[in-house]
Structures are given as C-alpha cells and as structure tokens.
Amino acid sequence: MNTIDAKFYQDNGYYLFKKPLLNQEKFQTLTNIFEELVSSSEGLRGDEHDTPHFKDKRLLDILRSEEVLDVVQQAIGPNIGLWSSHFISKEPFIGRKTPWHEDSAYWNGRFDRLDKIVTIWLALDNSTLENGCMGVVPGSHNNGFSDYVEVDSATNTFGSEIRQDQVDIDKVVWFELNKGECSLHDGRIIHGANANTSPYRRCGYTMRYFSLDMKLDQEHPGNKTHKIFWCRGENIRGNPLIV
C-alpha cells in the first residue's frame, strides 16, 4: 500500500509523494483522456477543464482506485467522498499564473466544515519552477480565511488573490514533481503557482476528496448541480452521493 507521513500532513497541511501513484497502464489512460479532451474542446484554455469526470466515466475508475484512496484515507480517514477533479494545464510560454488562494475560500458555506478536504495533485508532465509548479505556505491551513483583492483574469486563472501582505513568500515550499508523482494539500492551505515562462507544458490532474464526516448543504446555490460520489466507507451524514 502507498503510505504517507500522516502526522507531517496534518501539521504542515501538505505532503509530497515522490514516487509514482498509479501503475503505468492507469497513468497512460489518464494521459490519453486529457489529450482527447484537449483535442475535442475548442475555445477552452488548458486550465479550464473542470469536473471532467462528470462526463467521462473512465476517470471515475482512476479517482476511485484503491491505490489513490489508500493515500486519501491516511489524510482524512476511512469515510471518503469524491468532491471534484480538474485538469490544469499551463501551456508553454502562455500558461497563466494561479493566484495565491485557499480552496476553502471558494467552498465556504458548501459544507458544514472545511477541515477534511484533501487534494491530490498528480503530475502528467514534469512540474518545475520554470514551468510554473505549485507552491504552498506550510501551516497556513490553520490560519482561517485570508483577505482577497481583485487581479486581472486575463493573466491569472481566476480574478482574485490573497493580499500580498498575508502571504509569507519566504516560507513557500515549491512542489517540483516528476511525471507520475503527486502532492497532497489541505483545502485550507495558502497555495498558488507562477506563470509558465518555459518551452515545456505543465499539466496536472487534481483529485479532490472530502470526509463523509462532513455534511453538504444541499440548499447552497453552488451545490444544486454539483455531483458528489461515494468512494469508500460509510456515508454517516447522509450526503446525496452517487454510488
């Protein structure tokens, strides 16, 4: 079984898993799915392929595979739901900056709590400082919500960013990963990524999971059409899971 240092993850809000997460066949399937998606999606930027598993059920086989869920369980416990997934590709020279943010700020109110959401960021390409790898501020998952200001969405993947005086750049840990490796981060941690100024693509697949100890607010507007899936364990809060 793939193992992580769960205490390090809980204390710091992230973990770097520096070995292949999937076997070669599953990884190649995932890569092929992304290439098919790009070739059939006109008008979308490489970083805009959100919730592709809603349409492509092959992704659910990967998202709910034992080797992935074994890692997730060590971070958030045995009762696991699938929250979302997202292909994020920064194309050579033009890949946009990802502003400093907390995922939890965009999910505020959608659950009754936000302390047990984990994202696995799986590198489909090598991810380096030059092509815009992700960075996090260790321990910032314990800080609560930050203050945001508007930024230009033409050069950023979305239109707001944590105020600069609330991001300690000197403490940032950059996630340089080889193709097939992954990182984990808490949904509340401050993180972001620079633009891709290199000649090399930087593509990752984010796989986001939540503990079924949490309760989805079914009346929240953002949850009306959002699908969540059962992965493992007991649905102890009676969430509207697709099995």
Q: How confident is the prediction for the chain on average, in pLDDT?
A: 96
Res. 166 pLDDT band, cuts 50 70 90: very high
pLDDT over threshold 80, residue 44: no
For residue 92, what pLDDT is reported?
A: 96
Domains belonging to the chain, first-starting first, are: 6-242 (2.60.120.620)
For residue 48, what pLDDT is reported?
A: 80
Phi-psi region of 60 (alpha: psi -120 to 50; beta: other; left: phi over 0): alpha
- pTM beyond 0.85: the answer is yes
CB 73 within 8 A of CB 177: no
pLDDT over threshold 90, residue 45: no
Q: Determine the number of helices (DSSP H) and then strands (DSSP E) in the chain.
A: 5, 14
pLDDT over threshold 90, residue 46: no
Q: What is the pLDDT of residues 181-195, one digit of tens each?
A: 999 999 999 999 999
C-alpha 229/C-alpha 24 separation (Å) is 25
Q: What is the pLDDT of residues 111-120, one digit of tens each?
A: 999 999 999 9
